[in-house]
Amino acid sequence: MVDRRQLRDAPERRGIATGQFELRSAGGQLALTGYAAVFNRSYDVMGGPPLGWTETVDPKAFDVTLSAKPDLHLLINHEGMPLARTKSGTLQLATDSQGLHVEAQLDPSDPDVQRLAPKMDRGDMDEMSFAFRVKNDEWNDDYTDRRLLEVSLHKGDVSVVNFGANPATSAQLNSAADALEFLAAMDPEAAMSELRSAGVPDMDRLVRARDNVLALHRSLTPKGSGRLSLVAARALAEADDTEVRLATAIPSHGTAVVEGEFNRRAILESAPAEQVTLRYMHAWVDPAGDPENVASYRFPHHEPRVSAPANLGAVRRALAELPDSDVPAGERAAVERHLRRHLTDAD
């Protein structure tokens, strides 16, 4: 689970619903206005305590970042090509007594704007979200209440979103691969808490999710490749003493990055015997090994705590070692993608 004490400077997102959000014609352009964040209005993260926490945004949280003129985009659902940008002057941000106010001038000939406009006109999309990094926050004694005192918007975004979703989930899941990694690491009780907090009334959505995951597994399994599931491979090995070596690359994830010293030996010696943290630290794991043993993992590039930034020196070292490693050739491309994702984050 998320270490609440180590969230500073990690990428996060928060979404809100607001009644003051509109798109209107203005001098041959379309003007979008709304609030991407509101002040002193508490919301639950990860379903609230005890698994999550309650959070509020301080009215001064954006003062420093806005004074530094941050460069950020206006997006749809935090992805795709930008609709507007502060650097070009087509996106303006300011705070008032209510929250972080957004105003953008959109080009009516832009295909993405043309896709968005009718959905906003009908009220199908009426919520906003912002991507940020926390520079200063304040927790209560038992880490169940967090106040955001200072955040950075630079190289983040404000987005029109389908839903102002559960903030913890939207803070951590940036892709389908991230979502699968998040679910794989989650305790079943915590997953059920997430579903309850999202207001899932019955089993229909859970069944659809299961069917989608099974269909994805079938479509990604090479036909005739001879690749076996972990259970089948271990059963085969036990049946005829065949040596079966299984390997898997850990899905990539976007994180903060740092330069500086990375004492691999000391970091591995201090790593906990805990699967979620070990998977976060590394780029490859041998499923035939013990998932709670650091010896089953390769290519460490994070310190041993979830949300720790990727060390770029360790990433470059891992990329140099990869071609001569014992990682099966079929897994190396995925490991390389994981590592290069951090280099992309640095750019």
- Residue labelled with tokens 């002193």: 40
pLDDT computed for residue 127 by the predictor: 80
pLDDT computed for residue 5 by the predictor: 59
Q: Note whether 91 and 36 are within 8 A (CB).
A: no
In this predicted model, what pLDDT tens digit does every residue of 125-163 receive, in sequence order?
778 888 889 999 999 988 889 999 999 999 989 888 876
In this predicted model, what pLDDT tens digit does every residue of 74-126 receive, in sequence order?
998 888 889 999 999 999 999 998 889 999 999 888 888 888 888 887 777 77
Q: Does 293 score more than 50 pLDDT?
A: yes
Q: pTM of whole model > 0.85? A: no
Mean pLDDT for the stretch of residues 229-258: 60
pLDDT computed for residue 51 by the predictor: 73
pLDDT computed for residue 242 by the predictor: 42
pLDDT computed for residue 287 by the predictor: 80
Give the helix ranges, DSSP H, for 41-187.
63-67, 111-121, 167-172, 176-185
Question: What is the rounded distance in angstroms from the CA atom of residue 335 to the CA atom of residue 327?
Answer: 9
In this predicted model, what pLDDT tens digit does every residue of 35-75 receive, in sequence order?
888 888 888 877 778 777 888 999 999 999 999 999 999 99
Average pLDDT over the chain, rounded to whole? 78
Question: What is the rounded distance in angstroms from the CA atom of residue 181 to the CA atom of residue 171?
Answer: 14
pLDDT computed for residue 227 by the predictor: 47
Q: Does 337 score more than 60 pLDDT?
A: yes
